[in-house]
Amino acid sequence: MSSTTFFTSVQDQLQFVEQRIREQAGEEHHPDLRSALEHLLAAGGKRIRPTLGLLVGNMLGAPEEKLITLGASVELLHTATLVHDDLIDGALLRRGMPTLNARWSPAATVLTGDFLFARAAKLAAETDYLPLMKLFSETLATIVNGELTQMFSARGVIDRENYYSRIYAKTASLFEMSSLAASMVATEDEDVRASMKTFGYEVGMAFQIVDDILDFTGEQSAVGKPIGSDLLNGLVTLPAIYYAEAHPDDEDVLSLPSGGWKDTERVQRIVDNIRKNAAIEKAME
C-alpha cells in the first residue's frame, strides 16, 4: 500500500483537522499576530503527524472528534517548534516561503511560537483527559531538551547513540506522541498503548533517517536545502556514521570533530564518497 493510499483513507478527517488549525488565526487576535499565523498556515505541509494519529485512532475505534482535536494539537505543536527552530538556525526560507524570522523581529517570532504552543496545549486540554496533558508537556520538554543538548554539544562528533538520541528528541518524540495519544483516547489497554507508542517511535525514527539520507541523495530544489547541509552545520547523520565506520582512516572524516565540517571542500568530498559508497544502502536497512 502506498503512502498516497494512507493519506486518502483519512482525507476527509484531515480537512477537519485543517479547519481546526486555521481556526487558531481568529479575528480576536492582534492583526499582526493574525497575519503571522495566516502566513504560517499558508505554508501548508504534509500533515504526517495528524495522519499517523488518525490512522491509529481509526484502527482502534477512537472517537472521531477527539482524534481531529488531537491532530490539530499535534500539528500546532510541530509548527511552533519549527518557528523557534528557524529562528535559532537563522533560516530564511521554509518550504520555499520566507520564515517568520525573515520578516519579523526575533522577539515577535518567539512570541508567535509561544502563542502556537499555548493553542496546541488548549486543544489537547479539550480532550478532557489529564494523562494526555501530561504526555503533551513531557513531549514538549523532550523536544526542548534535545534542542538545547544539540546547541551546547560539540559539533562534528561521530557517535551513533548521540545521533539516535538527537533524532528521537527532534522528530520521533512527536510521532510517538501522536500515535500514543490516539491510542489513549481509544482504549485503556496498556499493552495496546505500549505497542502504539513503539509504532510511533519507529515511524518517527525512520522518517528522520530517510530525511537525513535525502540530505545526501536528493536535489537541492527538491529537499529545499543545499546537499550536505547537515554536515556543513556539524551534524553527523547516519549515512556519514556508516561511512566513517567503514573508512576509519579517511582524513576528511577524521577532521570533523576538530572543525573539519567548516571546510566546504572537505565536506563535499565526504558527500561525494558517501554517495558512491554503500553507506546510503546501509542507512536504508
Residue at which a domain ends, from 128, 144, 167: 128
| C-beta separation of 266 from 252 below 8 A | yes
Read off the pTM: 0.92
Task: Please indicate, yes or no, whether residues 111 and 205 belong to a single structural domain of this protein.
Answer: no
| C-beta separation of 174 from 139 below 8 A | yes
Task: Please indicate, yes or no, whether residues 138 and 215 belong to a single structural domain of this protein.
Answer: yes
Tell me how far CA of residue 163 lies from CA of 160, 168, 169, in angstroms: 5, 9, 10
Domain for residue 190, yes or no? yes
Task: Please indicate, yes or no, whether residues 208 and 228 belong to a single structural domain of this protein.
Answer: yes
Residue 93 forms beta bridges with which residues? 98
The predicted structure's pLDDT at residue 51:
97
Task: Please indicate, yes or no, whether residues 102 and 160 belong to a single structural domain of this protein.
Answer: no
Residue at which a domain ends, from 99, 128, 157: 128
Task: Quote the distance between the C-alpha of residue 279 and its chain's center.
Answer: 23
Domain for residue 119, yes or no? yes
Domain for residue 58, yes or no? no
Structural domain boundaries enclosing 276: 129-285
Domain for residue 57, yes or no? no
The predicted structure's pLDDT at residue 227:
81
**pLDDT means over runs of 10, the chain (285 residues):** 71 94 81 85 84 98 97 96 90 81 90 94 94 96 95 94 97 98 98 99 97 85 71 95 96 95 95 92 92
The predicted structure's pLDDT at residue 224:
58
CA–CA separation, 113 and 150 (whole Å):
20
Task: Please indicate, yes or no, whether residues 135 and 195 belong to a single structural domain of this protein.
Answer: yes
The predicted structure's pLDDT at residue 27:
66
Task: Please indicate, yes or no, whether residues 108 and 137 belong to a single structural domain of this protein.
Answer: no
Contacts 24+ apart (CB under 8 A), 242-249: 242/278, 242/279, 242/282, 242/283, 243/270, 243/273, 243/274, 243/277, 243/279, 244/158, 246/277, 246/278, 246/279, 247/273, 247/277
Task: Please indicate, yes or no, whether residues 122 and 12 belong to a single structural domain of this protein.
Answer: yes
Task: Please indicate, yes or no, whether residues 39 and 106 belong to a single structural domain of this protein.
Answer: yes
CATH of the domain at 206: 1.10.600.10
| C-beta separation of 184 from 138 below 8 A | no
Task: Please indicate, yes or no, whether residues 117 and 142 belong to a single structural domain of this protein.
Answer: no
Number of folded domains in the chain? 2
Domain for residue 55, yes or no? no
Domain for residue 31, yes or no? yes
Task: Please indicate, yes or no, whether residues 137 and 250 belong to a single structural domain of this protein.
Answer: yes
Domain for residue 53, yes or no? no
Tell me how far CA of residue 43 lies from CA of 37, 47, 85, 97, 129, in angstroms: 10, 11, 16, 7, 31
Residue at which a domain ends, from 107, 128, 149: 128
Task: Please indicate, yes or no, whether residues 77 and 196 belong to a single structural domain of this protein.
Answer: no
Task: Please indicate, yes or no, whether residues 89 and 200 belong to a single structural domain of this protein.
Answer: no
Domain for residue 39, yes or no? yes
| C-beta separation of 177 from 139 below 8 A | yes
Per-residue cell: 225? 536545502
